[in-house]
């Protein structure tokens, strides 16, 4: 039997490592209440609560636009989505484009137009058509299809953020998105049970394609908005979208809705509904860049999934909708998913690369042993001086 010598004995652990290991072994397992307290401390932070509140403000703005549009359609038979969007773009033009016009230097309106006019034309076109196609889809398909297929924009948005914004997601983010979509499914089920799906739509295939197209266009618009807001400025985005959005929506309005506008029987109630829609839409456009700057476009889109529920709650009093407890359940599920998503920040590709695990340290004792082994393996070297004062190195 071989007997180990002193050189084969295991290296003693450093005092700090020994103390840490002893403390870890002696520490009692965390109790269930302490575990719940830790989860609460992680989820109920100031940042998450602020993000939650900001997202619900956006949902209320969207709810206002939905209620005003539905009231115009059901009570006064007014279906003019392009006219309503045109008024919003005009407000953006009057406020934010005017602010750009008074700027000087490289951020002035003329300089931006010289450098990036074609990019903002494309962005405004995407934004205008996203609004138009979603509203137009309601004329062809059912509410269920719109609510479900509109969620298609979230995976498209995440994919665009991955490639364009170089965002990197963790497993918790995908789980959170799945939870939010489960909440949407619960809401749709509640709609069906409550009898809100009476209309079958005139052409379901056309309507579904319009919803998918609109959701994809919204994703492109939101990713572009996040890039501009975080790298350039909020005023530049809103000013340029207001400028070109007014032109594009005005031309489209004259082509596709001039007959519908001529048939409107104007009164003060209709005017008030148009004003209410325009103010809610203007508030949504003005406030969304603020929220995106402190969170992300994906987070915002998850947060505003509750907008349909707010519209439903208003519809209980305005349109005689039936109430179902599943609506409250779906609201809670969406909120849980939204909080889960916000609990862990996303990373950029550069941050993900720099945070890769590094090789573990071998410790001071092992390092000293390694140096000693290398020293023993290195051949000895001697230097001799000859009479001619030349240097000769011998290795033995």
DSSP state of 257: S
pLDDT of residue 23: 47
Compute the distance between CA of residue 226 and CA of residue 348 in angstroms, rounded to an integer: 14
- pLDDT score recorded for residue 288: 94
SS3 381: strand
Residue 304 to residue 140: CA distance in whole angstroms: 24
Q: What is the helix (H) or strand (E) element at residue 393, kind and residue range?
A: strand 391-395
Helix H or strand E segment including 182: helix 171-193
pTM assigned to the model: 0.75
Nearest-angstrom CA–CA distance, 221 and 126: 6
Interval 240-266: pLDDT, tens:
999 999 999 999 999 999 999 999 999
| pLDDT > 90? residue 22 | no
How many whole angstroms separate alpha carbon 137 and alpha carbon 350? 40
Instruction: Identify the weakest region by mean pLDDT among 160-164, 271-275, 295-299, 350-354.
Output: 350-354
State the number of CA atoms in the 13 A half-sphere of 151 facing the CB: 23
Residue pLDDT, tens place only, 154-213: 999 999 999 998 888 999 999 999 999 998 888 888 877 766 655 555 567 888 888 899
The alpha helices in the chain, defined as continuous H runs, are 15-26, 32-43, 46-76, 81-92, 98-101, 109-137, 143-149, 153-163, 171-193, 204-231, 234-256, 258-262, 268-294, 297-303, 307-318, 325-343, 349-354, 363-377
pLDDT of residue 318: 77
For the chain, what is the radius of gyration of the CA atoms? 31
Using alpha carbons only, give the angle 10, 11, 16 rounded to the nearest 5 degrees: 135
* 8 A C-beta contact, residue 83 and residue 250: no
213-226 mean pLDDT: 93
Structural contact between residues 85 and 249, judged by C-beta atoms closer than 8 angstroms: yes
Concatenate the DSSP letters of all residues of 307-354 into one string: HHHHHHHHHHHHT-PPP-HHHHHHHHHHHHHHHHHHHS--EEHHHHHH
**C-alpha to C-alpha distance for 327 and 324, rounded to whole angstroms:** 6
Please, which residues have CB within 8 angstroms of residue 325's CB and are 6 or more apart in sequence? Answer: none
Q: In this structure, are residues 161 and 347 in contact, taking their beta carbons and an 8 Å threshold?
A: no
Cα separation, 333 vs 186, in Å, equals 9
């Amino acid at each position: 039997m071989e007997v180990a010598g002193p050189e084969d004995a295991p290296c003693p652990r450093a005092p700090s490592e020994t103390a840490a290991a002893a403390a870890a072994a002696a520490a009692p397992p965390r109790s269930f209440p302490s575990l719940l307290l830790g989860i609460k401390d992680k989820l109920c932070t100031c940042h998450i609560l602020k993000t939650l509140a900001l997202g619900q403000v956006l949902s209320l703005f969207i709810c206002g636009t939905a209620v005003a549009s539905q009231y115009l359609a059901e009570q006064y038979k007014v279906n003019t989505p392009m006219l309503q969007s045109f008024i919003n773009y005009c407000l953006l033009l009057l406020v934010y484009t005017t602010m750009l016009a008074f700027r000087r230097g490289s951020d002035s309106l003329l300089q931006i137009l010289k450098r990036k006019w074609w990019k903002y034309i494309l962005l405004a076109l995407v934004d205008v058509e996203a609004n138009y196609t979603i509203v137009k889809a309601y004329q062809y398909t059912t509410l269920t299809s719109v609510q479900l297929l509109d969620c298609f924009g979230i995976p498209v948005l995440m994919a665009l953020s991955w490639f364009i914004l170089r965002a990197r997601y963790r497993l918790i983010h995908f789980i959170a998105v799945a939870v939010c979509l489960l909440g949407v499914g619960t809401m749709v089920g509640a709609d069906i049970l409550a009898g809100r799906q009476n209309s079958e739509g005139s052409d379901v295939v056309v309507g579904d394609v319009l919803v998918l197209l609109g959701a994809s266009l919204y994703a492109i618009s939101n990713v572009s908005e996040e890039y501009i807001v975080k790298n350039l400025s909020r005023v530049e985005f809103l000013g340029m979208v207001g400028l070109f959005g007014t032109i594009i929506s005005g031309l489209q309005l004259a082509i596709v809705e001039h007959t519908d506008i001529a048939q409107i029987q104007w009164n003060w109630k209709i005017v008030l509904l148009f004003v209410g829609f325009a103010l809610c839409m203007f508030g949504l456009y003005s406030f969304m860049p603020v929220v995106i700057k402190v969170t992300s476009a994906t987070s915002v889109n998850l947060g505003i999934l509750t907008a349909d529920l707010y519209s439903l709650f208003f519809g209980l009093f305005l349109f005689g909708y039936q109430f179902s407890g599943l609506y409250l359940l779906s609201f809670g599920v969406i909120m849980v998913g939204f909080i889960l998503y916000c609990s862990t920040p996303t990373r950029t590709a550069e941050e993900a690369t720099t945070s890769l695990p590094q090789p573990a340290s071998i410790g001071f004792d092992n390092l000293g042993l390694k140096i000693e082994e290398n020293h023993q393996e290195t051949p000895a070297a001697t230097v001799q001086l000859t009479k001619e004062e030349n240097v000769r190195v011998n290795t033995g």
